Structure 1
Amino acid sequence: MNNQTYSRLHIEQDRGVATVTIDNPPVNVLDVVLMREIRHFLTSIRDDPLTRVIVFQSADPEFFIAHVDMTLIDEPHAFDEIAKATPDGLNPFQAFGELIRAQPQVTIVKLEGIARGGGAEFVAAADMTFSAIGRAGLAQCEALMGITPGGGATQYLSQRMTRGRVLEVILGADLVDAKTAERYGWVNRALPVAELDAFVGRLARNIAALPEGVIAAAKKAINAADLRDGFRREHEMWAGLFALPAAENLIRGGLQAGAQTRDGERNLERLLRGLSNHR
């Protein structure tokens, strides 16, 4: 794998496992370039018979993927190129999640830091996630920006949790710790930080070493839900709210108050709630 192809990803391959390290300082926002590079990697490796497992991790121990780049509010055509390759019935963010979900290789997230918004949707779209106790956190923080999730969270989480818990995650909009995320079904397991690397590495290598055809058979046999109607509803709700003045005001206010800086992102929920309380 030629790492020179990518500016925000570092890729290593060993014994059938591709390890993808996300590196987009300062907080790994999901911007157009990062999304494009992940899409390119997934499509380029899709038919590679020598790669059976993909492990996603972050170069930053505090942040996996912070969330979608909030500055894109000033770039309405930023996703025009990506939108050309988006299947009918999906917006670019939903299509990104579905690309991950449909990947023939097993996809594993090693979650050491925080994943919010589109980053949390990335986690939910992957086959498996293992999170670090005391360090990892997940949040669908969109409600604090005056919107609802628009990249698959409403549908992916509904496959993993009860309706009440999905509503708690989306409307409560709090950062969920690793142990709670495990209990809710958002992640497979919460593990001590010192054990995470070894556990994920062993699991990935064991899966990659399975006999030919076993991975494909398992992924096909474990039926993936048809979420098309749900994606349509999700997009309509998200787009309707995004068009209202409140969303723009909260997103711009969040950026001015320190969102997408390391200090601001460490407690983004408090930062955004502060904006709402002053409206």
Structure 2
Amino acid sequence: MNFNNILTETSNNITTITINRPKKLNALNQETIQELHSAFKLANEDAQTKVIIITGSGEKAFVAGADISEFADFNVSEGEALAANGQKILFDFVENLTTPVIAAVNGFALGGGLELAMACHFRVASDNAKMGLPEVSLGVIPGYGGTQRLTQLVGKGRAMEMIMTAGMIDAKTAHNYGLVNHVTTQEDILYLCKKIAGKITNNSSVAIAKAINAVNASHKTNVNGFDIEIKAFGACFGTEDFTEGTTAFLEKRKANFPGK
């Protein structure tokens, strides 16, 4: 599929999606959000893709925010619809994908950009990265899940401070907060992401999908994450991957998971 605002490439069971609006610092407009949805959906349905990496083009930004010009004149109902549709089409969609998604945060990740990174399953940052949710400086709040996911990742106090000050933190601080898993140079960020992805591809994609669902359940209201884990654990026993994994272990050989 051809896209106007993103690039995709698949190699060695890894699909890399690059937001390609460098003149706009990869800002998220509605077209880009829809294209990202399509790209993530295609990658998730591709049996050859076992890990997805999302990054931004150029050296300045992962995603520098949403395209404010698109909604500066919205009314209350239009603003609410904007947030609801965005969460459904992209941010919640990414969080609940059964294929692991790594955000390669290569520069500014602000507003919707940080919200996209937080929707991914984990994050790797370049040492020049800056992250923040500046929405209150515009008279609005994060609307793509930022108030919820930031609190989950860094804790209530730090989330409150970041949101209320509208300030940015650097990569080292983000790592200390637990917002990103690793920090590396901009030159090495995709290399490190692909190295981690390579380790993931060695494991059962079926089990990983169930683990993602179980971990996500711990943050859902009125859902017992322990029950989800128990059911997912039991379901693994009926998969070909479980048979192959346990057989390979007992035979002292490397497993060759069929992904079923």
Pairs within 5 Å for 1:260-279: none
Q: Which residue of 1 aligns with 2:256?
A: none
Moved over 3 A (4+): 74-77, 192-195
Contact conserved, 1:93 with 1:152, CA < 8 A, in 2?
A: no
The correspondence for 1:6, drawn from 3, 8, 16, is 3
Q: Following the alignment from structure 2 to structure 1, what is the Cα–Cα distance between the partners of residues 188 and 39?
A: 28
2:178 aligned with 1:185: yes
Instruction: Give matches, 1:14-93, under 5 Å.
Output: 14-26=11-23, 27-73=25-71, 76=74, 91-93=84-86
Percentage of pairs with the same residue: 27
Question: What is the root-mean-square deviation of aligned Cα atoms in Å?
Answer: 2.2
Gap runs ≥5 in structure 2: 223-260
Q: Which residue of 1 aligns with 2:93?
A: 99
Cα 1:172–1:75, aligned 2, differ >3 Å: closer, same or farther? closer
Aligned-pair CA distance for 1:75: 6.5
Tell me, what secondary structure is at the counterpart of 1:129?
strand
Mark the CA change 1:129 to 1:227 in structure 2 (over 3 Å): closer, same or farther: farther
- The aligned residue for residue 216 of structure 1 is 209
Q: Structure 1 pair 128/138, CA: closer, same or farther in 2 (3 Å)? A: same
Match of residue 124, structure 2, among 121, 130, 135: 130
- When residues 227 and 22 of structure 1 are mapped into structure 2, their CA distance, relative to the original with a 3 A threshold, is farther
Q: Unaligned stretches of 5+ in structure 1?
A: 229-279
- 1:203 & 1:71 partners in 2: Cα distance? 37
Residue 247 of structure 2 corresponds to which residue in structure 1? none
For 1:13 and 1:164, the matched residues in 2 are separated by 40
Provide the TM-score with structure 1 as the length reference: 0.72
In structure 1, give the amino acid aligned to 2:181: N
What is the TM-score with the length of structure 2 in the denominator? 0.76
DSSP-derived class of the 1:99 partner: helix
Output the CA distance in 2 between the equivalents of 1:105 and 1:143.
Answer: 33
In structure 1, C-alpha distance between the alignment counterparts of 2:66 and 2:191, rounded to whole Å: 30
Q: How far apart, CA to CA, are the structure 1 residues paired with 2:141 and 2:72?
A: 19
Structure 1 residue 120 displacement after superposition: 0.7
* Cα displacement string for residues 174-209 of structure 1 (whole angstroms, at most 9, x for unaligned residues): 111001011112111222334423211111122123
**Larger relative contact order (Cα-Cα within 8 Å, sequence gap ≥ 6):** 1
Aligned length: 216
- Deviation at residue 223 of structure 1 after TM alignment: 3.7
Q: What's the CA shift string for 1:38-68, capped at 9, x where partnerless? A: 0111223332222111001111210111111
**Distance across 2 between alignment mates of 1:76 and 1:46:** 33
Letter in 2 for 1:170: I
Q: Deviations over 1:63-95 (max 9, x none)?
A: 111111110135649xx9xx6xx9xxx712322
Distance 1:74 1:144 in 2: 14
Q: CA–CA distance in 2 between the matches of 1:76 and 1:154?
A: 21
CA–CA distance in structure 1, aligned partners of residues 205 and 46 of structure 2: 13
